[in-house]
């Protein structure tokens, strides 16, 4: 096993408990997951299974109640909020079900934003953003606002935003959940292509067909995770 | 993120909501305009006071009855003579004032006349434009002659003053010969206008126009600014000696210095009052900004989540929303300064002196920015403190 096959995402015994009133809700129950560089992983589960919570924890947007999480060798649970923001900026790229583009910004302004938060010079950043958008076939749509784009196009803008900073891991939360079948195929194709180019992708979905396009599937049910062969 | 890009982002957000931004900043517009006008009015008042007093000798002192109307124990010519015996006093002139019908040819008006000892003219810069001045002879012989203020002469002759010299006028149906016209003196800071009055010799006024009702004011000139207080003390002493019935109490002694101070004080009070109004307006508008910023933060909670997901730090979120508040209030400040400028002619029309100044603009804009920072901080801080996941999940 080469150096580049070390796990970039290494989460162990992750527990997440929500307190609602006097009741405790265990959303994640000792979940462990390793993702190696260049993996394309799907986490498949029905709604309410805890897959989104897992995604938020892997994305450093939320902290687990207990467990350990190393991202690219960094002990995430010991980091301060500003350091987490920096990790989200440099090591992670998010793709959401609802695209989550900023409505008042154009496509290229949306894509350039993570680079600006990184402190990269605006001219340089614009060049990179334009490159990524062109790569995703949106070279003609740079100055369109989200509401002027189709769902598939919006999701491709979101993907461009996720990859523009060359993250270690792309996290996609139901990326096809709001798309028609043609756009779904389209977006999955983009992910496969990105994976072929060496990007590491973790994709959450409830759609078996979509999950099958990944190289490896984890199943999640009632807060517990099972790998390929292990679904009861 | 660098400042320039942050500002760009802020401007995009603010300009997408123009109407709301404008309504939010309405209070700031009014507040800044008020601050600007406060400074303008303050400066105008200052200018007016110093103009009023520029022609007034600061060594001059006025002695007059404390009460209007009938006076039991009036001042007399003799009092004025006694005053001049003080080492601290250069001159003291009794002056009689009255109102009456002034007639020339078939033109009649109600005007003022002033009876003065002839020496009064030299020490009050009354110079002759045409004809001659009042002379000692007129005082001694009680000559019924008058010298007119420039404005009065102009009015009586309908703009052709030179014709009146040598002619007769009547004051309260008594005939006087016009012997001269004074040069225009403008505002002297004295409570009556010289340019609108007819001047006659003191003795003449006493004899023909006022008679036993003569109730003079005595205009005193101290030898210098530093002797004003000593002169006032001397005057008080003399009045106590000569008017044993009521003493100096029944007279008012006004010196120019204290009148100047009083005028400045009232101008300052006016400015402070207006400034207080401006501050209240800005506080109210600041609360408005705070409310709108809270609504904005609430509305854009999801967006804040997105920004946090792509790596915005707390201080960057804080900076963005704070900058939004400041941009909105600063825009209000600029509009307010323009509004203030437009209001200056209106104030002038209302005879409120106002002098626009760069200082006023700077102060107004400073206040508007302070309002934005102060009231924008809490909502921006709230936005920055949102947890990324709560913000992202917010619907």
Report domain extents, chain B. 3-52+261-393, 74-242
- Looking at the complex, report in whole angstroms how far the Cα of residue B314 sits from the nearest Cα belonging to chain A: 7
> What is the reported pLDDT for B66?
79
What is the rounded radius of gyration, in angstroms, for the C-alpha atoms of chain A?
A: 17
Domain range annotation of chain A: 3-230
Q: What was the pLDDT predicted at A42? A: 94
pLDDT score, position A132: 93
**Given the DSSP bridges, would you call strands A7-20 and A66-71 parallel, antiparallel or unpaired?**
antiparallel
pLDDT at A1: 42
CB contact under 8 A, B308 and A119: no
Residues of B in contact with A86 (CB under 8 A): 311, 313
Split at pLDDT 50, 70, 90, the class of A2 is: very low
Touching check for B395 and chain A: CB below 8 Å? no
Answer whether A85 sits within 8 Å of B312, measured CB to CB: yes
Place of tokens 């010969």: B177
- The 3-class SS string of chain B reads CCHHHHHHHHHHHHHCCHHHHHHHHHHHHHHHHHHHHHHHHHHHHHHHHHHHHHCCCCCEEEEEECCCCCCCCCCCHHHHHHHHCCCCEEEEEEEEEEEEEEEECCEEEEEEEEEECCCHHHHCCCCEEEECCCCHHHHHHCCCEEEECHHHHHHHCCCCHHHHCCCEEEECCEEEEEEEEECCCCCCCCCCCCCCEEEEEHHHHHHHHHHHHCCCEEEEEECCHHHHHHHHHHHHHHHHHHCCCCHHHHEEEEEHHHHHHHHHHHHHHHHHHHHHHHHHHHHHHHHHHHHHHHHHHHHCHHHHHHHHHCCCCHHHHHHHHHHHHHHHHHHHHHHHHHHHHHHHHHHHHCCCCCCCCHHHHHHHHHHHHHHHHHHHHHHHHHHHHCCHHHHHHCC
Instruction: Tell me the pLDDT tens digit for each residue of B234-259.
Output: 988 888 888 877 777 788 888 877 77
Kindly state whether A212 is in contact with chain B, defined as any CB-CB distance less than 8 angstroms: no
Q: Do B16 and A104 touch (CB under 8 A)?
A: yes
State the pLDDT at residue B179.
93
A122 interface with B at CB cutoff 8 Å: yes
Classify domain A3-230 by CATH architecture: 3-Layer(aba) Sandwich (3.40)
CB contact (8 A) between residue B311 and residue A86: yes
* C-beta neighbour count of B100 within 10 angstroms: 18
pLDDT tens profile A19-67? 888 888 899 999 999 999 999 999 999 988 888 899 999 999 999 999 9
Candidate from A7-21, B160-174, B211-225 with smallest mean pLDDT: B211-225
**Is the per-residue pLDDT at B289 higher than 50?**
yes
**What mean pLDDT is predicted for residues A163-176?**
93
Q: Hey, is A211 helix, strand or coil?
A: helix
Say yes or no: A65 contacts chain B, CB-CB below 8 A: no
């Amino acid at each position: 096993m080469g150096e580049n096959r070390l796990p970039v995402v290494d989460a162990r015994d992750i527990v997440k408990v929500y307190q609602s009133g006097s009741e405790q809700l265990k959303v994640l129950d000792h979940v462990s997951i390793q993702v190696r560089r260049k993996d394309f992983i799907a986490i498949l589960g029905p709604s309410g299974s805890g897959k989104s919570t897992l995604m938020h924890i892997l994305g450093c947007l939320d902290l687990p109640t207990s467990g350990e999480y190393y991202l690219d060798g960094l002990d995430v649970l010991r980091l301060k909020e500003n350091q987490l923001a920096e990790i989200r900026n440099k090591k992670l790229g998010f793709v959401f079900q609802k695209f989550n583009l900023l409505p008042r910004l154009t496509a290229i302004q949306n894509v350039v934003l993570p680079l600006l938060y990184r402190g990269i010079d605006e001219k340089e950043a614009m060049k990179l953003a334009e490159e990524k958008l062109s790569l995703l076939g949106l070279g003609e749509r740079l100055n369109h606002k989200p509401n002027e784009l189709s769902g598939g196009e919006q999701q491709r803008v979101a993907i461009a935003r996720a990859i523009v900073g060359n993250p270690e891991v792309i996290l996609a939360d139901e990326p096809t959940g709001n798309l028609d079948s043609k756009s779904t195929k389209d977006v999955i194709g983009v992910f496969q292509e990105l994976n072929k180019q060496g990007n590491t992708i973790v994709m959450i979905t409830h759609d078996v067909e979509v999950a099958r396009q990944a190289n490896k599937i984890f199943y999640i049910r009632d807060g517990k995770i099972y790998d390929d062969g292990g679904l009861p | 993120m660098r400042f320039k890009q942050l500002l760009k982002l802020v401007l995009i957000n603010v300009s997408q909501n123009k109407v709301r931004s404008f309504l939010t900043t309405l209070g700031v517009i009014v507040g800044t305009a008020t601050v600007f006008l406060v400074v303008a009015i303050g400066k105008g008042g200052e200018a007016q006071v110093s103009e009023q007093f520029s022609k007034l000798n600061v060594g001059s002192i006025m002695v007059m009855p404390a009460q209007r109307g009938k006076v039991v124990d009036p001042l007399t010519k003799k009092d004025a003579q006694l005053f001049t015996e003080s080492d601290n006093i250069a001159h003291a002139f009794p002056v009689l004032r009255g109102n009456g019908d002034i007639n020339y040819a078939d033109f009649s008006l109600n005007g003022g006349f002033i009876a003065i000892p002839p020496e009064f003219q030299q020490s009050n810069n009354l110079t002759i434009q045409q004809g001659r001045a009042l002379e000692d002879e007129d005082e001694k012989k009680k000559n019924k002659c008058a010298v007119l203020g420039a404005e009065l002469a102009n009015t009586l002759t309908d703009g052709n003053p030179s014709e009146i010299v040598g002619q007769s006028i009547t004051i309260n149906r008594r005939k006087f010969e016009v012997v001269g016209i004074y040069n225009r003196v403008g505002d002297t800071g004295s409570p009556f206008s010289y340019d609108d009055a007819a001047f006659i010799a003191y003795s003449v006024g006493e004899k023909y126009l006022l008679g036993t009702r003569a109730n003079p004011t005595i205009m005193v000139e101290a030898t210098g600014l530093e002797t004003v207080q000593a002169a006032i003390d001397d005057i008080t002493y003399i009045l106590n000696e000569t008017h044993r019935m009521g003493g100096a109490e029944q007279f008012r002694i006004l010196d120019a210095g204290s009148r100047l101070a009083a005028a400045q004080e009232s101008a300052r009070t006016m400015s402070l009052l207006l400034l207080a109004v401006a501050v209240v307006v800005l506080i109210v508008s600041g609360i408005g900004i705070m409310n709108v910023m809270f609504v904005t933060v609430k509305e854009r909670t999801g967006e804040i989540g997105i920004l946090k997901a792509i790596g915005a730090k707390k201080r960057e979120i804080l900076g963005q929303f704070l900058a939004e508040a400041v941009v909105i209030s600063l825009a209000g400040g600029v509009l307010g300064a323009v509004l203030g400028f437009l209001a200056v002619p209106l104030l002038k029309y209302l005879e409120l002196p106002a002098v626009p100044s760069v200082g006023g603009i700077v102060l107004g804009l400073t206040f508007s920015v302070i309002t934005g920072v102060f009231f924008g901080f809490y909502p921006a801080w709230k936005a920055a403190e949102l947890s990324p996941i709560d913000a992202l999940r917010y619907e």
